[in-house]
Structure formats: structure tokens, C-alpha cells
């Protein structure tokens, strides 16, 4: 069973007296453990589709299923719980909590909801994540003391803190130079392999698209390409 | 824990906003603590002073239109109205005296009289008519005797207040001493003007005084009843000396209503040429019961504790209702009259001012918090996106508000406490009559009251919670999708 499936999803935004059709009947499936990119130019609907998958926005019509659960049937509380347990987020602008240091930012998702981790296990896990993203010596630094690449590393570690099944990254390299961007994508790929976490990231950078196992291309709210590399699946 | 950490660090990061809100809170709390401590000192001191020395905890009295207290009738009704006497006084006194909840019972009547020495006017005095044995049992230590003795039980006479003595000296240039005689002229709507000559038994001051109390002298109850017309009823012939009999001649009942007394001649022409003669004529005592008149205006009660006071009040009110008595029970504040009213009115005015300050503070704090929330939309959106429930966001914002109110509230309490401590060391001098009434003397040494601290912290807690309501509602409306829209 696909971990995520979208069926005929549309999203309309009112813009003054007109309506913008951000998604026009999108359907696709994403398998567990995939490293998938949603590519397309600005305004193609990449962020909108990520918002739907991330349960932070609702479709105007159609449905989104996560692990077979139709998210449109869930209450705000249940959706929030689902986000906490199943999803991790990496944002374009990092969105770290400015008053918390690296360790605390990574720990934060574990403190805002229920998790079965013992405090000592939690500490070990956070330190593991910090080591994995290469920020061992930056643990006590605040976000304002870090470079863009370092901040995005913190964001990756934070997204993985709750051991989610899916990590969503909205243009994670957009605010980074190309070299750092590539490093970040490689780090995400490494995490995908190590933790078997499904990574879905949006980008308009064709160089980065090449690294993904599965590519969904969008244009004007419609999927124009949905292909998997041969080693992980069959091209559609 | 993480919420406290975020709250404290956010407050430190946004110093300007923290200071705007914090200073407002600290100033408000400072005024609350200092002001309420000041007012509490006044009212607590006044309460103890009055209960212990002048009013007892409860006062039973009749119902009447107009404002009256132990100091008599106040306001426009002063000239004509009469303070009602206590109905079924003896039964009531016996009932209360037998109660285990009542530690002491003392009757009192109030009145006023002009003072004269010979034919010379010498001022005015409020009078409390007392039964000395009962009065000084209930209030054994409320006066300082400057000369003479206390009014002995069963004797007629006056204990003159030092203030009245001073006024007499100002008016007549004469100094009154114990043993001197004074003429008291009472005027009332019932029996007109009455004049009584009384012996001054002693000169005294109340230990804790006020301009109202200073003018009260103590007289035996019989004299007061006569002066204030509380004895109107049956006519009783006075026991006159032989000289007085000779002066007046034999008065026959028929002659009283005979045409000889209906004359166009003035009293002087009839031989009432000197003051002693008028006094003698006035000596025709009029009493209600003939031998024992038990007319009193008030029954002062001391109870074993505050709870007993409430219980006695309820019991008495039921008793009055059942027995169809036109009586009521009031507390010491009622008895203290103008002085207590003024202190409590001032406290009300002070609290109104504080409420206005707090409303302004509430609006300023609320706006500042809303601005802060608006600046933190991506942060809150991110928390929601990562799986933070609305309850977490609510707790986070409320905690930040409560932390700031607690920190600066404590600072306000400390400042207010230090201020009161300094005032306690230096004392506040009453510079005019208004403050003398309020302070109950020339100097007030305010003490820090626990009530003022508790009420200030409660007020600031409510302020913090109320101020965070709207900002929290704004924060809860932030959708997690906002995390995607703008970076932190």
C-alpha cells in the first residue's frame, strides 16, 4: 500500500474577485521509503501539494490519504496529532525557534506532543541526530550564530526527531548557495537510506531533481511527469 | 519546562516590549500595595479603635428616616428628627446578656447640648448618655482622665472632654475644673428647650480620638434623657428644696390650667428673674415610667469573635422580624458615622482610580502582545505544523504573559513594601483636619498589609490572564500553513 495517495485533488484560492486554481485534479501515489522530488516552476503548485500531503492545508476537492487514512475526515486535533507522529517538516527559511539553541531546537518536536521516548533515550537520539548532521560542536549555539547551511542541517535533524515516516521539505535549498544546497540534499538522501524515512522535497532546480528516485513534475497545477528511476521502481 | 524557557528567553530577547508591559504592571502593583496598605492601616486601626473603645462590634438601634449614628442625626433632618428609642429594651438586653456569643452589652443614648456657665454661653457639646458601671466595663481603658474622677454609678453629672474644656476657655476665658458646675441646654422637637445644671466629675480625652469624638462628653443617662426629651410621658413632681418651694409657691394642678397662668406678662414679671429659678421650674421631671425610665438609643455589643458577630446579627434580625420590632443591627462602621464613611469612601475612590489604571494597562499590554504575536506568526505556524496542539500555543502565550506579570508584579510588591516601610519609619503627619480625621490622630504610620499584597498579586494575575485572552485567540487562528509562507 502506498504511504501517501492523492486522488483528484484540487485547490482553489480566492484572490479578490477571481479564483486561482492552484491544483487542478492531481492524483498520485508515493511509496514508503522513497526519495521523491516535486519539481516545477514557481506557481506550478509544488508548495500547495506539499501542504496537502503535510496536512497543513485542506484540498478544495478530492482526497489525500496518509497510510490509508483519509485526512479530510480528521479533526484539527487529529490532524495535528498525525503531523506530530507521522510527518517531519523542513522549511525553505529553516523556521528554527530563535530563542532555542541547536540541541533545544532539535529536541523541541519531542516536547510539544506525546512520544514514548525515555529521557535518556531521547538525549542519545538527539545527540545521534546532531552528529549525523555534523553539528557536534555547535550544540549550544543559537540559530542566529549559524550559517544558512548549518541552520538547514538543524532543520533536517529536527524533522527527524520524532522518527517520522515522512519528511516534507519545501524548497530546502532555495536560500542556500548551490554547493551547500547539494550537500543538504545529499544529507537528506543519507538520512533516507539510514532511517528508511520517506523524503518528499520540492525544488525548481533541475540539478537537484536528478538525485531523486521519484520525480513528480507540475505545471499550472497539473502533473506533467510522474517517473521513478529504474532501481527503485518502474517509470510511469 | 520548555514553555518557561521559551517565555523567559522571549522576554529577554524583546527587551523594549517587556519593559513597556513590565513597567506598567510594576507601577500598578506598587500603587495597589502602597495604597491598599495605607488604606488598610487606616481602616484596620479605625476598626479596632472603634470596636474596642466606642462602638463594640454590633449596635442595635431603631429604624428611622435620615442618617444617624452614635454621634446623632446628620444632615438636613438634624433640627427636627428624633433618634428612635429601642423597643422592649429590657427583654432585649437580658436576651443578649445571656448569649454565650456576646461578651459584653452596654446601652448608650446620644444627644447634644449648649454649655453655659451662669448666664454666659460657653459652646456646644455632643453628649453620650451612659450607665457608668456598664460603660466602663465594656470600655475600661478608652479615656485618659486629666483631672477629677470618672462619673460614679447612680450619680448625676458630666465628664467633660478636654476639647470641650478648651473651647469653653476660648469662649469665656474661664477654666473648668472637676467639681465646677455647668448648665446644659438641650433642645428637641418633643419637649422644646431643657436646661440642667450638672457637676463636672472629671476632664478627659479619648485615647484614640478624632474631631468627631473630641467633642463628645459623657453624662449620666437621666440627664441626657431630660435634655433630649426621651422622658416625655408622665409628669412627676420634682423634689424641691424649701427655698425652691418658697420661690415657686404652692402649685396646684388647677392653677396650672387656670387662667392665672395664661397671662400676657413676661416670665420676668412673674418672678422668674434669675437662672436658678428657671432651673427649678425645669426640675419638674417628666418620665415615662415614673420610677425607672429605660429609654436608650443604642445597645452596643461585643461578641466573642467575628463569626459570632455574624451569627448574632442573623439571630437578632430574625428575632426583630418575629416580634415585629422596628429595630436593626448595624456594625461598628455605622456607629462610627462620618469618620468611617470618609475612610471607606476614600478607599472606594482609590480602588476606582486603580481599576481605571488597570483597564488602561490591560489595553496597552493586550496591544503589545498582539504586535508580538503578529511578529511571531511563522514561529507559531511552525509549532503547529510540527504537531503542536492549540492548547500548547495557548499555554505558551499565557505563560509568557504570566511570567512577565509575575516578575514585574513581584518587583511592584517589593517597591511598594519598601515605600510603606519608609513611611512607617518616618510617619505621615496630618497637615489638616481632613487628614486628622482620616488618620485618627496627628501621625499615621502605615504598615504593610498581607491583604494588599494578596489582592495586588491576584489583580495582576487577573490582569495577565485577561490581557492574554485576545492575543491567545489571535495566536490560535494562525494556521500551520503560515509556517510555509514566511521565514523566521
- Mean pLDDT across the stretch B268-285? 41
Of residues B45 and A70, more confidently modeled? A70
| B377/B115 Cα distance (integer angstroms) | 80
pLDDT tens string B331-349: 988 887 777 788 788 888 8
pLDDT at B434: 67
Task: Flag the least confident range among A147-151, B12-16, B208-212, B359-363.
Answer: B208-212
Record: contact B13-A112, CB cut-off 8 A: no
- Mean pLDDT across the stretch B116-123? 86
pLDDT at B222: 93
Name the residue facing B389 among A80, A87, A111 (closest C-beta).
A80
Pick among B387, B394, B395 to test the A interface (most A CBs inside 10 A): B387
User: Would you say residue B2 has pLDDT above 70?
Assistant: yes
Query: How far is A142 from chain B, CA to nearest CA, in Å?
Result: 12
Question: Is residue B153 very low, low, confident or very high in pLDDT (cuts 50, 70, 90)?
Answer: very high
State the ipTM, two decimals.
0.90
Low-confidence stretches of chain A (pLDDT beneath 70): 230-236
Interface of A with B in 79-98 (CB under 8 A): 80-81, 83-85, 87-89, 91-98
- Mean pLDDT across the stretch B296-313? 91
- Mean pLDDT across the stretch B193-214? 87
B2 to chain A: closest CA residue: A111
pLDDT at B250: 52
Pick among A48, A95, A157 to test the B interface (most B CBs inside 10 A): A95
Task: Flag the least confident range among A159-163, B169-173, B267-271.
Answer: B267-271
User: Would you say residue B284 has pLDDT above 60?
Assistant: no
DSSP-based three-state secondary structure for A222: strand
User: Would you say residue B201 has pLDDT above 90?
Assistant: yes
DSSP-based three-state secondary structure for B301: strand
Question: How is A55-97 classified by DSSP, letter by letter?
Answer: TSS--SEEEEEETTEEGGGS-HHHHHHHHHHHEEEE-TT----
| B409/B29 Cα distance (integer angstroms) | 6
| Chain B residues within 8 A of A83 when measuring between CB atoms | 385-387, 480
Measured CA angle at B322 (ends B317, B326), to 5 deg = 60
Record: contact B386-A54, CB cut-off 8 A: no
Task: Flag the least confident range among A80-84, B3-7, B46-50, B156-160.
Answer: B46-50
Query: How far is B400 from chain A, CA to nearest CA, in Å?
Result: 13
pLDDT at B77: 62
- Mean pLDDT across the stretch B37-60? 85
- Mean pLDDT across the stretch B318-328? 91
Exposed, middle or buried by CB within 10 Å (0-12, 13-18, 19+), for A117?
middle
Q: Which residues of B touch A (CB under 8 A)?
A: 1-2, 5-6, 9-10, 13, 378-379, 381-390, 392, 479-481, 483-484, 486-488
Exposed, middle or buried by CB within 10 Å (0-12, 13-18, 19+), for B35?
buried
Mean per-residue pLDDT of chain B: 82
Name the residue facing B488 among A81, A83, A93 (closest C-beta).
A93
pLDDT tens string B477-487: 998 887 776 44
pLDDT at B199: 94
| Chain A residues within 8 A of B388 when measuring between CB atoms | 80, 84, 112-113
pLDDT at B75: 66
Name the residue facing A170 among B10, B379, B484 (closest C-beta).
B484
At a CB cut-off of 8 Å and minimum separation 6, what does B213 contact?
Answer: B54, B206, B339
pLDDT at B288: 41
pLDDT at B234: 41
pLDDT at A25: 92
Q: Are strands A166-170 and A87-90 parallel, antiparallel or unpaired?
A: parallel
pLDDT tens string A158-209: 998 998 999 999 988 888 888 888 888 888 888 888 888 999 999 888 878 8
DSSP-based three-state secondary structure for B148: strand
Name the residue facing B388 among A99, A112, A158 (closest C-beta).
A112
| Chain A residues within 8 A of B10 when measuring between CB atoms | 99
| B384/B424 Cα distance (integer angstroms) | 53
pLDDT at B189: 67
User: Would you say residue B287 has pLDDT above 70?
Assistant: no
| Chain B residues within 8 A of A154 when measuring between CB atoms | none
Name the residue facing A57 among B383, B386, B481 (closest C-beta).
B481
Question: What dihedral angle (degrees, nearest 10) is formed by the CA atoms of A122, A125, A131, A133?
Answer: -100
User: Would you say residue B252 has pLDDT above 80?
Assistant: no
- Mean pLDDT across the stretch B88-115? 91
Q: Tell how far CA A236 is from the center of its chain.
A: 23
Name the residue facing B379 among A51, A88, A97 (closest C-beta).
A97
Q: What is the DSSP letter of B85?
A: P
Pick among B17, B384, B386 to test the A interface (most A CBs inside 10 A): B386
User: Would you say residue B137 has pLDDT above 50?
Assistant: yes
User: Would you say residue B12 has pLDDT above 50?
Assistant: yes
pLDDT at A233: 43
Question: What dihedral angle (degrees, nearest 10) is formed by the CA atoms of B470, B475, B479, B482?
Answer: 130
| Chain B residues within 8 A of A77 when measuring between CB atoms | 389-390
Residue B475 contacts residue B393 (beta carbons within 8 Å): yes
Question: Is residue B266 very low, low, confident or very high in pLDDT (cuts 50, 70, 90)?
Answer: very low
Record: contact A113-B387, CB cut-off 8 A: yes
Amino acid at each position: 500500500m502506498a504511504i501517501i495517495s492523492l486522488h483528484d485533488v484540487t485547490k482553489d484560492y480566492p484572490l479578490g474577485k477571481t479564483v486561482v486554481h492552484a491544483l487542478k485534479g492531481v492524483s498520485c501515489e508515493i511509496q514508503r521509503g522513497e526519495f521523491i522530488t516535486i519539481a516545477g516552476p514557481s506557481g506550478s503548485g509544488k508548495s500547495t501539494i506539499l501542504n496537502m500531503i503535510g496536512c497543513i492545508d485542506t484540498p478544495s476537492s478530492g482526497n489525500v490519504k496518509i497510510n490509508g487514512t483519509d485526512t479530510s475526515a480528521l479533526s484539527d486535533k487529529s490532524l495535528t496529532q498525525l503531523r506530530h507522529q507521522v510527518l517531519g517538516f523542513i522549511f525553505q527559511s529553516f523556521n528554527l525557534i530563535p530563542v532555542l539553541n541547536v540541541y533545544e531546537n532539535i529536541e523541541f518536536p519531542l516536547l510539544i506532543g506525546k512520544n514514548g521516548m525515555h529521557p535518556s533515550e531521547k538525549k542519545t537520539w538527539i545527540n545521534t541526530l546532531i552528529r549525523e548532521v555534523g553539528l557536534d560542536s555547535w550544540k549550544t549555539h543559537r540559530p542566529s550564530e549559524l550559517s544558512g547551511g548549518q541552520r538547514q542541517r538543524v532543520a533536517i535533524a529536527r524533522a527527524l526527531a520524532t522518527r517520522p515516516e515522512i519528511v516534507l521539505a519545501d524548497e530546502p535549498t532555495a536560500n542556500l548557495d548551490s554547493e551547500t544546497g547539494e550537500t543538504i540534499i545529499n544529507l537528506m538522501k543519507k538520512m533516507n537510506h539510514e532511517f528508511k524515512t520517506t523524503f518528499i522535497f520540492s525544488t525548481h532546480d533541475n540539478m537537484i531533481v536528478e538525485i531523486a528516485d521519484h520525480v513528480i513534475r507540475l505545471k499550472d497545477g497539473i502533473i506533467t511527469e510522474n517517473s521513478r528511476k529504474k532501481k527503485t521502481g518502474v517509470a510511469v | 519546562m520548555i514553555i518557561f524557557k521559551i517565555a523567559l528567553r522571549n522576554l529577554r530577547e524583546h527587551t523594549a516590549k517587556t519593559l513597556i508591559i513590565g513597567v506598567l504592571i510594576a507601577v500598578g502593583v506598587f500603587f495597589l500595595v502602597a495604597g491598599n496598605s495605607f488604606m488598610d492601616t487606616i481602616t484596620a486601626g479605625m476598626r479596632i479603635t472603634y470596636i474596642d473603645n466606642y462602638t463594640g462590634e454590633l449596635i442595635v438601634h431603631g429604624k428611622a428616616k435620615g442618617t444617624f449614628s452614635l454621634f446623632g442625626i446628620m444632615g438636613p433632618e438634624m433640627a427636627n428628627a428624633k433618634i428612635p428609642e429601642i423597643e422592649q429594651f429590657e427583654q432585649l438586653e437580658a436576651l443578649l446578656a445571656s448569649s454565650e456569643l456576646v461578651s459584653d452589652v452596654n446601652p448608650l443614648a446620644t444627644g447634644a447640648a449648649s454649655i453655659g456657665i451662669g448666664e454666659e454661653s460657653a459652646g456646644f457639646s455632643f453628649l453620650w448618655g451612659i450607665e457608668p458601671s456598664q460603660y466602663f466595663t465594656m470600655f475600661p481603658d478608652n479615656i485618659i482622665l486629666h483631672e477629677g474622677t470618672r462619673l460614679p454609678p447612680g450619680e448625676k453629672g458630666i465628664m467633660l472632654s478636654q476639647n470641650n474644656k478648651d473651647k469653653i476657655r476660648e469662649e469665656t476665658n474661664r477654666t473648668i475644673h472637676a467639681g465646677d458646675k455647668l448648665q446644659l441646654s438641650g433642645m428637641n422637637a418633643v419637649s422644646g428647650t431643657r436646661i440642667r445644671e450638672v457637676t463636672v466629675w472629671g476632664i478627659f480625652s479619648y485615647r484614640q480620638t478624632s474631631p468627631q469624638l473630641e467633642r463628645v462628653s459623657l453624662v449620666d443617662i437621666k440627664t441626657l434623657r431630660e435634655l433630649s426629651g426621651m422622658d416625655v410621658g408622665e409628669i412627676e413632681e420634682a423634689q424641691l428644696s424649701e427655698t425652691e418651694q418658697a420661690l415657686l409657691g404652692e402649685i396646684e394642678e388647677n392653677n396650672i390650667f387656670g387662667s392665672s397662668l395664661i397671662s400676657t406678662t413676661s416670665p420676668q414679671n412673674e418672678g422668674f428673674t434669675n437662672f436658678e429659678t428657671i432651673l427649678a421650674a425645669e426640675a419638674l421631671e417628666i418620665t415615662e415610667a415614673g420610677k425607672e425610665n429605660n429609654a436608650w438609643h443604642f445597645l452596643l455589643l461585643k461578641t466573642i469573635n467575628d463569626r459570632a458577630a455574624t451569627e448574632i446579627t442573623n439571630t437578632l434580625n430574625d428575632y426583630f422580624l418575629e416580634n415585629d420590632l422596628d429595630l436593626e443591627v448595624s456594625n461598628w462602621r455605622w456607629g462610627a458615622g462620618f469618620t468611617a464613611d470618609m475612610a471607606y469612601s476614600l478607599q472606594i475612590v482609590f480602588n476606582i482610580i486603580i481599576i481605571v489604571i488597570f483597564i488602561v494597562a490591560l489595553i496597552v499590554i493586550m496591544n503589545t502582545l498582539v504586535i508580538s504575536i503578529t511578529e511571531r506568526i511563522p514561529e507559531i505556524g511552525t509549532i503547529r505544523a510540527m504537531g503542536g496542539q492549540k492548547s500548547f500555543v495557548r499555554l505558551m502565550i499565557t505563560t509568557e504573559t504570566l511570567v512577565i506579570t509575575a516578575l514585574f508584579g513581584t518587583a511592584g510588591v517589593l517597591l511598594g513594601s519598601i515605600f510603606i516601610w519608609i513611611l512607617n519609619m518616618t510617619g505621615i503627619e496630618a497637615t489638616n483636619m481632613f487628614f486628622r480625621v482620616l488618620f485618627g490622630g496627628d501621625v499615621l504610620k502605615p504598615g504593610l498589609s498581607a491583604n494588599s499584597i494578596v489582592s495586588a498579586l491576584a489583580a495582576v494575575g487577573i490582569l495577565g490572564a485577561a490581557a492574554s485572552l485576545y492575543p491567545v485567540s489571535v495566536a490560535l487562528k494562525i494556521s500551520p500553513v503560515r509556517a510555509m509562507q514566511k521565514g523566521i
